[in-house]
């Protein structure tokens, strides 16, 4: 079982003819994802990936012709806002934005617009989603995870891969892995994903990978302590990061004493979460 994406997902790739779009589309297609369309303005009528995927000028045209129900965007930052708004206007229920470097002010507007449109956004600046054995939307390597009952949600990209590989090496399978992105303004939060995993009957435990900056982990801890019945294991990155220095993601910065790793760890442990000292230790803490 999975959340958000599965073998029936019909994917539309925005920016499919660009370098990143075509490369990762090939990877997704090889994994078994049903890519039914690509969108690049001015390239409508073309076919890509050895003639397997048609290209359209607009999302509306692609949806009408293919019945796509999810989009992933590899559109450059200066056009990414318009791409997300176009997908929402076409009434796609699930949008995934891999693009990094989108201004915070623009994302505040996008988030409000998508909320009113009833569309769910994963990202931006995220690796996407993976349901092992069924579907991958984004850039998470498919070969480092097996199907199973562990849900994974993460603010980090590369740490996500490390944890997936550690789970695989320890015989732990994954229901769905979601990289929510590390920017200050994102479409889907830890809390949103935890609610989905809690409601999924085939997810038995959850791994939460957080990092310094913001208070999302503290809000997640409150939900875990109050409402979750499933065990949660966590790792918080950036425990030795100096205040005022951004580490990796735009949202990974300690400012004014807020966003400390120690505060996040304390909140999670108070909610009954086992917090690993290293990503490799996570499988040992899962019950």
Dihedral pair phi/psi, residue 207, rounded to 5°: -110, 125
Phi-psi sector, 210: left (phi>0), alpha (psi -120 to 50), beta: beta
For the four alpha carbons of 222, 225, 226 and 229, in that order, the dihedral sign comes to: positive
pLDDT at position 243 is: 59
pLDDT tens, 24-75? 999 999 999 999 999 999 999 999 999 999 999 999 999 999 999 999 999 9
State the fold for domain 140-285: Rossmann fold (3.40.50)
Rounded distance between C-alpha atoms, residue 216 and residue 238, angstroms: 15
The answer to whether 10-122 and 140-285 have equal CATH topology is yes
Rounded distance between C-alpha atoms, residue 280 and residue 282, angstroms: 6
Token pair, residue 275, equals: 């917090």
Domain boundaries, the chain: 10-122, 140-285
pTM: 0.93
Token pair, residue 210, equals: 């957080």
pLDDT at position 6 is: 97
Look-up of token digits 């760890």: 265
For residue 217, give the H/E element and its range: helix 216-227
pLDDT at position 214 is: 85
Burial class (CB in 10 A: 0-12, 13-18, 19+), 206: buried
Under-70 pLDDT residues of the chain: 1, 239-258
Token pair, residue 45, equals: 């009528």
Cite the active site residues.
249
Q: What angle separates helix 59-66 from helix 77-89, to the nearest 10 degrees?
A: 50
Q: Residue 51 pairs with which residues in a beta bridge?
A: none
**Domain 10-122 listed as CATH 3.40.50.720:** yes
Rounded distance between C-alpha atoms, residue 169 and residue 126, angstroms: 24
Burial 120-139 (b: 16+ CB within 10 A, else e): bbbbbbbbbbbbbbbbbbbb
Phi-psi sector, 161: left (phi>0), alpha (psi -120 to 50), beta: alpha
Q: 204, 127, 134: which is closest to 172 by C-alpha?
A: 204
């Amino acid at each position: 079982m999975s959340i958000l994406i599965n073998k029936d997902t019909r994917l539309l790739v925005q920016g499919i003819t660009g370098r990143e779009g075509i490369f990762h589309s090939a990877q997704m297609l090889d994994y078994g994802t049903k890519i039914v369309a690509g969108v690049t303005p001015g390239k409508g009528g073309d076919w890509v990936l050895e003639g397997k995927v048609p290209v359209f000028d607009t999302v509306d045209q692609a949806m009408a012709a293919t019945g796509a129900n999810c989009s992933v965007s590899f559109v450059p930052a200066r056009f990414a806002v318009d791409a997300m708004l176009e997908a929402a206007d076409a009434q796609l229920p699930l949008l995934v934005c891999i693009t990094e470097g989108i201004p915070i002010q623009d994302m505040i507007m996008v988030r409000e617009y998508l909320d009113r449109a009833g569309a769910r956004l994963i990202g931006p600046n995220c690796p996407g989603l993976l349901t092992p054995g069924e579907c991958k939307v984004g850039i998470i390597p498919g070969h480092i995870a097996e199907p199973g009952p562990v849900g994974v949600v993460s603010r980090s990209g590369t740490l996500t891969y490390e944890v997936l590989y550690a789970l695989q090496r320890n015989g732990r399978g994954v229901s769905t892995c979601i990289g929510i992105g590390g920017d200050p303004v994102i479409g889907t939060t830890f809390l949103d994903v935890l609610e989905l995993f809690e409601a999924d009957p085939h997810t038995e435990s959850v791994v939460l990978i957080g990092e310094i900056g913001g208070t999302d982990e503290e809000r997640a801890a409150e939900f875990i302590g109050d409402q979750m019945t499933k065990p949660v294991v966590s790792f918080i990155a950036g425990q030795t990061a100096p205040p005022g220095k951004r580490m990796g993601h735009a949202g990974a910065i300690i400012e004014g004493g807020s966003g400390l790793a120690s505060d996040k760890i304390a909140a999670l442990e108070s909610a009954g979460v086992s917090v690993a000292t290293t990503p490799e230790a996570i499988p040992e803490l899962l019950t």
